[in-house]
Amino acid sequence: MPAGPSLYDMLLGQIDGEPIGNFDDRTLEALSVQQNVRRILNTRAGALKHLPDYGLPDLTNIYKALPASSQALREQMEVTLLKYEPRIRAIDVAMIDTNEPGLQVSFEMTCHLKKSGLVRFGTYFMPPGVFRLERRVREGKI
């Protein structure tokens, strides 16, 4: 799955080598939201002195307390994304089961965008604080 547009791609007018004009507005918004969500969730709270609650807490402590801490992580993701991604009107985060080796915890986020409807992302957390975000596409949905 594409990781979403990078600044370099945007400057070239491309996403993964395809011209931006090949994508509809809903897809472009979903990819942009994906990039911002990735940036937010990959930042550790306190890393930006002027926004101390931007990002997630240190994941080491979350991993040590699993599975009990998964609920706290889910709640932190919801609060942080609603505050720092203004295109999201509401968000539903559900834990998903996966048998991927090394994976600590994963969630599916259903983001209700103010303009474009729903977009879903799979979030995958692995030690030591590695995070992966993928857009999940269902038939007929973005």
Q: Could you tell me the CATH number of the domain that includes residue 42?
A: 3.10.450.40
- Asked if residue 1 is part of any domain, the answer here is no
Tokens of 103: 């994976």
pLDDT by residue (tens digit) across 35-64? 899 999 999 888 999 999 999 988 887 878
Domain range enclosing 15: 7-136
Write down the residue that tokens 């930042």 correspond to: 43
What does pTM read for this prediction? 0.79
Q: Check whether 2 has a pLDDT greater than 50.
A: no
Residues 92-118 have a mean pLDDT of 87
Model pLDDT, residue 125: 85
- Asked if residue 141 is part of any domain, the answer here is no
Which of 61-65, 98-102, 123-127 shows the lowest per-residue confidence on average (mean pLDDT)? 98-102
Q: Are 100 and 93 in contact (CB under 8 A)?
A: no
Instruction: Work out how many domains the chain is built from and give that number.
Output: 1
Q: Virtual CA dihedral for 103, 33, 116, 95, nearest 10 degrees?
A: 20
- Asked if residue 71 is part of any domain, the answer here is yes
Q: Are 140 and 117 in contact (CB under 8 A)?
A: no
